């Protein structure tokens, strides 16, 4: 028994010295081994271009198949801004204000009443494209939407597919709204830098 425990002690000491040596002699280069530089061309990143997209966003709260559904009610009925409500969306993105115009993709995400005093929404959505050159790519918009103003500006914070590393901004203008039902058509002009 004494021989086995002394062998274990020797193994433990040897292992401890090995681990201590590895830690003590680590170089700063080893500490940063999780990151490395990458040649832009390997990712297909060439010269950036600026593109302008004009799309119509159809927020439909009524009918048999609404594209916008309330998932969280407002904090209180006395709120004049609806503060706290959250609406999940899967809205059509079309070429024109007519819902029957060419479908370019869908706006998927949510918007929420994020202001207690002035009407304002937090918008978090991906514009997922299904047609044309950008089929399978998406743009991400995340920002404040003071929806009662004539023109609202929100940041484009990224994207996927042909919009990897994208950045820019989106301008929203109300094209049509039914104050009784809440159904709305919003014109989006998006200016985006991408590769």
Distance of alpha carbon 148 from alpha carbon 161, whole angstroms: 33
Contacts of 49 (CB under 8 A, 6+ apart): 193, 194, 195
Q: How high is the mean pLDDT of the chain?
A: 87
**Among the listed residues 138, 123, 130, the one whose alpha carbon sits nearest the alpha carbon of residue 172:** 123
Q: Tell me the CB-side half-sphere exposure of residue 96, using CA atoms within 13 A.
A: 4
Residue with tokens 């940041």: 155
Distance of alpha carbon 42 from alpha carbon 45, whole angstroms: 7
The pTM (predicted TM-score) of the whole model is 0.78
**Among the listed residues 148, 142, 190, the one whose alpha carbon sits nearest the alpha carbon of residue 170:** 190
Instruction: Return the CATH class of domain 53-194.
Output: mainly beta
Which H/E stretch holds residue 50? strand 49-59
Distance of alpha carbon 62 from alpha carbon 105, whole angstroms: 20
* pLDDT tens digits for range 84-107: 999 999 999 999 999 999 999 999
> Which pLDDT band, with edges at 50, 70 and 90, does 36 fall under?
confident
Ramachandran angles phi, psi of 23, nearest 5°: -75, -45
- Least confident interval from 32-36, 48-52, 167-171: 32-36
DSSP state of 121: E
* pLDDT tens digits for range 171-186: 999 999 999 999 999 9
Q: What is the mean pLDDT of residues 111-129?
A: 95
Distance of alpha carbon 127 from alpha carbon 92, whole angstroms: 9
């Amino acid at each position: 028994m004494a021989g086995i425990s002394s062998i274990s002690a020797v193994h433990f000491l040897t292992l401890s010295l090995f681990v201590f040596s590895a830690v003590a002699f680590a170089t700063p280069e080893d500490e940063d081994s999780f990151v490395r530089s990458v040649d832009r061309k390997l990712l297909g990143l060439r010269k950036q271009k600026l593109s302008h997209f004009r799309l119509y966003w159809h927020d439909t709260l009524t009918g048999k198949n609404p594209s916008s559904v309330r998932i969280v009610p407002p904090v209180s009925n006395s709120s004049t801004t609806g503060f706290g409500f959250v609406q999940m969306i899967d809205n059509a993105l079309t070429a024109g204000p007519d819902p029957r115009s060419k479908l370019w993709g869908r706006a998927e995400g949510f918007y929420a009443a994020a202001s207690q005093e002035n009407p304002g929404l937090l918008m978090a959505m991906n514009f997922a494209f299904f047609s044309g050159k950008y089929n399978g790519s998406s743009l991400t918009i995340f920002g404040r939407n003071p929806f009662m103003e004539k023109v609202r500006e929100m940041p484009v914070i990224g994207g996927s597919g042909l919009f990897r590393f994208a950045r820019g901004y989106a301008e929203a203008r109300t094209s049509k709204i039914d104050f009784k039902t809440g159904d709305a058509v919003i014109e989006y002009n998006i200016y985006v830098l991408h590769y």
